[in-house]
């Protein structure tokens, strides 16, 4: 059976398409679910001709409402979920994928070294070389159901970002449909800034200071499009740069009986980095309680021992290396560090190779638990949404940073679940609110924290983007010239505000 260009859909979105994981609520919109690339391109071109706004959706795992429709139509990309081609370049292997291809499918296909739909079409010598050793895509944003297109739209990072960088460093190119209705190939180094100007595909010129966008003076168009939250056009495919997978992956989880000890342990590892450390994460007591509560319903968590009794916080480490003895040496130093802060090394997990995935399951259970709690509050009648920090605060120790958060939360009589990445204090402080007054105080506190982060040179809106949920915070926290620069780019690339309207900026 041949799929029609525009599969029939209810003119009204089902409730699940009117929100993302933040629980930010959208308005009723027409849902379109194109079944293939041709259908997607035709739909986008017709919408542009009609002046009909489009909000693109992946797996809706975002935390800022970026894929939530407030006007026009919602365009779901979930059926565009396949790899397209595998090529060997002088720099290594590149895998071209559709935007709806998700992280779990990518990991599965790479582990078995086979891609449904395309393996038979790949050159024999290319496929043979690819299968000669395991490969992986280094970014690990954590949420396995997230689509590659969605990860690119937010410039997602994750626990291993300080070792491997964000998704931007591992995307070689995009196919991108722009406001003129033309789909173009955007590769690294083809279109770049020179003296504040960039010649765009199609001949149009963009005039803006890239440093005001947080980019280098010689940044190129790919740097601009990745992380743009769908505001400038439609990603129709992505070229992923694959890398040889490490031979050994280990994870260590230390459970401490106080937050102070856990923070001190993380500070030890930050002061004396352990090679080959890939990620260093922190979970507070409320996070561990989230994990315990989910064990009742999550089958994967039932396969993992519960956190030990009395655990008040946890520090999670992941190591990658081709030399197992290198990891063994780092693990011994980590155990010594645990003893140094008064922790009990016996209250820890050591997970090697295949078992290391268990640590990631525990880590990801926390945001899942938060989503469930938001749903419980919403069921009581209050339209709560996720209020969470997403910035770095370089400078202060994790101990001092956590103490400041706790002090401020106590002063405002607010509760929070705190977890995230210890490097540069990139913690996600999820403030739990149940009424209008609490939400107002939480947003005021978040604005204050953003201001402090900016003063210390921190990166604001680091991993999750701005979307619609944090648009006002973005306008408050960023300098006027930064907001004006983003507005210039939006007006140049999407003059009629038809791509993901009201993301980041009030169109």
**38-61 pLDDT tens trace:** 999 999 999 999 999 999 999 999
CA atoms of 231 and 56, how far apart (whole Å): 10
Q: 10: pLDDT confidence band, cut at 50, 70 and 90?
A: very low
For domain 15-76, which CATH number applies: 3.40.190.10, 3.30.43.10, 3.40.50.10140, 3.10.270.10? 3.30.43.10
Q: How confident is the model over 98-138, as pLDDT tens digits?
A: 999 999 999 999 999 999 889 889 999 999 999 999 999 99
CATH 3.30.465.10 segments of the chain: 84-244
Render pLDDT for 317-338 as a digit per residue (tens, 0 to 9). 999 999 999 999 999 999 999 9
When computed from its CA atoms, the radius of gyration of the chain, rounded to whole angstroms, is 23
Instruction: Quick: pLDDT tens for 238-257.
Output: 999 999 999 999 999 999 99
Q: What was the pLDDT predicted at 2?
A: 27
Instruction: Give helix then strand counts, H and E, for the chain.
Output: 15, 19
For the chain, give every residue range classified as CATH 3.30.43.10: 15-76
CA separation for the pair 152, 177 (Å, rounded) = 15
**More confident of the two residues 285 and 364:** 285
User: Which pLDDT value is given to residue 485?
Assistant: 96
Specify the pLDDT at position 7. Answer: 35
- pLDDT level of residue 9 (50, 70, 90 thresholds): very low
The answer to whether the CB of 51 falls within 8 A of the CB of 88 is: no
Q: What is the mean pLDDT of residues 447-459?
A: 91
Does residue 143 or residue 421 have the better pLDDT? 421
At 1, the pLDDT band (50, 70, 90 cuts) reads very low
Q: Is residue 81 very low, low, confident or very high in pLDDT (cuts 50, 70, 90)? A: very high
Short-list 428, 422, 457, 157, CA closest to 270: 422
**What's the whole-number mean pLDDT along residues 160-173?**
91
| Domain 84-244 is found in CATH 3.30.465.10 | yes
Q: What is the pLDDT of residue 142?
A: 74
Query: Does the pLDDT value for residue 488 go beyond 70?
Result: yes
State if pTM tops 0.75. Answer: yes
Residue 295 in tokens:
């064990």
Mean pLDDT over residues 355-369, rounded? 90
Q: What percent of the chain has pLDDT over 70?
A: 97
Helix, strand or coil, per DSSP, at residue 495:
coil
pLDDT of residue 161: 84
Q: How far is CA 172 from CA 2, 175, 192, 437, in A?
A: 32, 11, 14, 46
Tokens encoding 440: 């107002």
pLDDT of res. 117 = 85
> Is residue 6 over pLDDT 60?
no
pLDDT at residue number 11: 52
Confidence category of residue 140, pLDDT binned at 50, 70, 90: confident
Average pLDDT over residues 272-287: 95
Average model confidence (pLDDT) for the chain?
A: 92
Query: Average of pLDDT values for 7-35?
Result: 81
Interhelix angle for 259-271 vs 324-340, to 10°?
130
**Percentage of residues in the chain having pLDDT higher than 90:** 76
The confidence score (pLDDT) of residue 295 equals 85
Alpha carbons 320 and 496: distance in angstroms, whole number: 47
Say if residue 45 is exposed, middle or buried (CB neighbours under 10 Å; 0-12, 13-18, 19+): middle
Phi/psi at 210 (nearest 5 deg)? Answer: -65, -25
Query: Would you say residue 4 has pLDDT above 70?
Result: no
The confidence score (pLDDT) of residue 507 equals 62
State the pLDDT at residue 202: 87
Contact 66, 154 (CB under 8 A): yes
């Amino acid at each position: 059976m041949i799929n029609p260009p525009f599969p029939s859909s209810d003119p009204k979105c089902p409730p699940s398409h009117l929100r993302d994981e933040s629980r930010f609520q959208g308005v009723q919109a027409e849902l379109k679910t194109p079944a293939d690339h041709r259908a997607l391109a035709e739909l986008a071109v017709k919408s542009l001709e009609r002046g009909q706004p489009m909000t693109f959706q992946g797996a809706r795992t975002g935390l800022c409402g970026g894929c939530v429709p407030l006007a026009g139509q919602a365009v779901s990309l979930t059926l565009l979920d396949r790899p397209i081609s595998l090529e060997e370049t002088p720099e290594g292997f590149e895998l071209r994928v559709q935007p709806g291809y998700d992280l779990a499918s990518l990991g599965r296909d790479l582990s078995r070294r086979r891609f449904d739909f395309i393996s038979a079409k790949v050159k024999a010598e290319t496929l043979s070389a690819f299968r000669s050793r395991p490969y992986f895509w280094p970014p690990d944003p954590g949420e396995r159901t997230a689509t590659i297109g969605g990860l690119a739209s937010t410039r997602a990072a994750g626990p291993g970002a300080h070792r491997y960088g964000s998704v931007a460093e591992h995307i070689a190119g995009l196919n991108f449909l722009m406001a003129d209705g033309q789909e173009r190939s955007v590769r690294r180094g083809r279109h770049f800034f020179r003296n504040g100007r960039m010649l765009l595909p199609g001949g149009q010129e963009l005039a803006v200071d890239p440093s005001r966008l947080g980019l280098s003076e010689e940044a190129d168009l790919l740097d601009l499009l990745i992380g743009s939250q769908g505001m400038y056009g439609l990603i129709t495919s992505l070229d992923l740069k694959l890398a040889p997978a490490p031979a050994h992956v280990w994870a260590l989880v230390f459970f401490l009986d106080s937050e102070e000890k856990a923070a001190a342990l993380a500070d030890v590892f930050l002061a004396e980095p352990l090679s080959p450390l890939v990620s260093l994460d922190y979970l507070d007591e409320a996070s561990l309680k989230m994990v315990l509560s989910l064990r009742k319903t999550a089958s994967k968590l039932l396969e993992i021992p519960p956190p030990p009794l009395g655990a008040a916080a946890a520090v999670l480490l992941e190591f990658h290396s081709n030399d197992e003895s290198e990891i063994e040496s780092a693990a011994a130093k980590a155990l010594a560090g645990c003893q140094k802060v008064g922790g009990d090394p016996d209250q820890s997990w050591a997970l090697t190779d295949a078992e290391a995935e268990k640590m990631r399951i525990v880590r990801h259970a926390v945001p899942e638990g938060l989503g469930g709690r938001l749903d419980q509050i919403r069921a009581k009648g209050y339209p709560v949404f996720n209020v969470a920090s997403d910035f770095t605060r370089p400078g202060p120790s994790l101990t001092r940073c956590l103490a400041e958060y706790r002090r401020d939360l106590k002063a405002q009589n607010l509760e929070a679940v705190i977890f995230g990445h210890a490097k540069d204090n990139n913690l996600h402080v999820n403030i739990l609110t149940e009424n209008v007054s609490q939400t107002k105080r939480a947003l005021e506190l978040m604005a204050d924290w953003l201001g402090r982060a900016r003063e210390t040179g921190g990166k604001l809106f680091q991993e999750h983007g701005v979307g619609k949920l944090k648009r006002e915070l973005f306008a408050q926290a960023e300098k006027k010239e930064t907001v004006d620069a983003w507005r210039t780019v939006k007006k140049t690339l999407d003059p009629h505000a038809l791509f993901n309207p009201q993301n980041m900026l009030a169109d």
